[in-house]
Amino acid sequence: MKYAAVTSNIAGLGSDKWVLSAAASRRIAAGDAIINLTIGEPDVAIDRTLVETAVSAMRAGRTGYSNGRGEASLLQALSDHYSDRLGRPIGTDRFLCLPGTQTALFLVFQALCDAGDEVILGDPMYATYEALIRASGAVPMPVPLDPEHGFRLQAEAVARKITPRTRVIFLNTPHNPTGAILRPEELRALGALAAEHDLWVVSDEVYGDLTHGAQTFTSALADPRFEDRTIVAASISKSHAAPGFRSGWVLGSAEFCARALPLSETMLFGSQPFIADMTARAVADDRALAHAMAARMARRAAIIAEALDGVAGLRVLRPEAGMFALIDIRALTSNSLAFALDLLEKTGVAVMPGASFGSALEGWLRVALNASDDATREACRRIADYAETRKGRT
């Protein structure tokens, strides 16, 4: 039988990336005591007032069809939030509401890219990015992110990748898996480069409210000179501990939203009104839950660094934001998948191999920061013992 080319373009780029997470889930279902540090789940339940808002909306009959852009109350809440964050008016006509950041980014690349176009992005990258790009027919053009620059994408490296086929510079700030935050001057340089070559800038900013310590986040939309070519995607999945509600949005120019709206309506003609009501309340609330979550995750990153940095040649990269720390295991092996699988088998600790996030992170592990402090310490003890054993065999 014949299939569309997209099925070949994205073959192996879906659940295959999450082998460790699936293996850990199977072990947990079988009753094994696994410390699962694979997925960026928030470490607390969603605020009960948000659940009650959704339930009340359902009881009030907010279960019918919506429209392609999103419910008016949510569009206004987003407008108010970003107007305040960016310090200039951001109209409601600049948003499209979709079920989560993943769907929002899928829409963006479908709207911007044709077959054979090129999308420049950093490597390492979030595990689904390559498939998002290839599903549009475009080709990912990874730029290795240098640890010497804190894994932050540099305009000079991007410039060397630009060709006549380049269409988009794809950013992720704060970055998954490294936790790096692009600096204002780096964003300005990338925006100027995009303007020079008439390119789009797409920025996944879902971790923007999860900065650690005194770190600050700057949106790719901060500089108004580049706002007509810059598109931001985000959601309440991380900031409000609501990943299962699948509620996100795109912020772009009014022209982009008008052009992308028919595609959005073709994909999904409107999100659920009761979820929109909940999201409007979440967007309008302060970020106390996110800030408390970020503080706990920064503390766990410090626990990991104190316990593992320097042990058996391991090095720990502490994040500036987000839900993950990185462990450099290159002193022990260059095969992060084999290491992670054996670590799970021998110790019951599940982490993500760096190879799931691009070739530049081979020889690293991504460790989620959402387990309790005690579970994190225990995981570190087991990892340290395992690493010492591995070192003794080399």
309-332 tens-digit pLDDT:
999 999 999 999 999 999 999 999
- Grade residue 103 by pLDDT with cuts at 50, 70 and 90: very high
Question: What pLDDT, on the 0 to 100 scale, is given for residue 357?
Answer: 95
Question: What pLDDT, on the 0 to 100 scale, is given for residue 12?
Answer: 86
Structure-token match 């279960």, residue found: 63
Question: What pLDDT, on the 0 to 100 scale, is given for residue 372?
Answer: 97
* Sign of the Cα pseudo-torsion (340, 344, 348, 352, in order): positive
26-77 tens-digit pLDDT:
999 999 999 999 998 999 999 999 999 999 999 999 999 998 899 999 999 9
Q: Is the pLDDT of residue 14 over 90?
A: no
Task: Mark residue 254 as left, alpha or beta (left: phi above 0; alpha: psi -120 to 50; beta: remaining).
Answer: alpha
- Which residues, in sequence order, are CB contacts of 389 under 8 Å at separation 6+? none
Domains of the chain, each with CATH number or no CATH: 5-45+288-393 (3.90.1150.10), 48-284 (3.40.640.10)
CA distance 203 to 169: 8
Beta-ladder partners of 170: 121, 202
Question: What pLDDT, on the 0 to 100 scale, is given for residue 392?
Answer: 72
Cβ count near 382 (within 10 Å): 16
- Under a CB-based contact definition with an 8 Å cutoff, are residues 321 and 298 in contact? no
Q: Is 215 exposed, middle or buried (0-12, 13-18, 19+ CB in 10 A)?
A: middle
CA distance 189 to 196: 10
Task: Mark residue 363 as left, alpha or beta (left: phi above 0; alpha: psi -120 to 50; beta: remaining).
Answer: left
354-376 tens-digit pLDDT:
999 999 999 999 999 999 999 99
Question: What pLDDT, on the 0 to 100 scale, is given for residue 394?
Answer: 57
- Percentage of the chain beyond pLDDT 90 is 92
- Under a CB-based contact definition with an 8 Å cutoff, are residues 314 and 329 in contact? yes
Would you call the peptide bond into 164 cis, given omega within 30 degrees of 0 as the criterion? no
177-220 tens-digit pLDDT:
999 999 999 999 999 999 999 999 999 999 999 999 999 999 99
Q: Is the pLDDT of residue 246 over 70?
A: yes
Q: Is the pLDDT of residue 263 over 70?
A: yes
The pTM of this model reads 0.95
Mean pLDDT of 230-259: 97
- Percentage of the chain beyond pLDDT 70 is 99
Structure-token match 């408390």, residue found: 292
Mean pLDDT of 295-316: 98
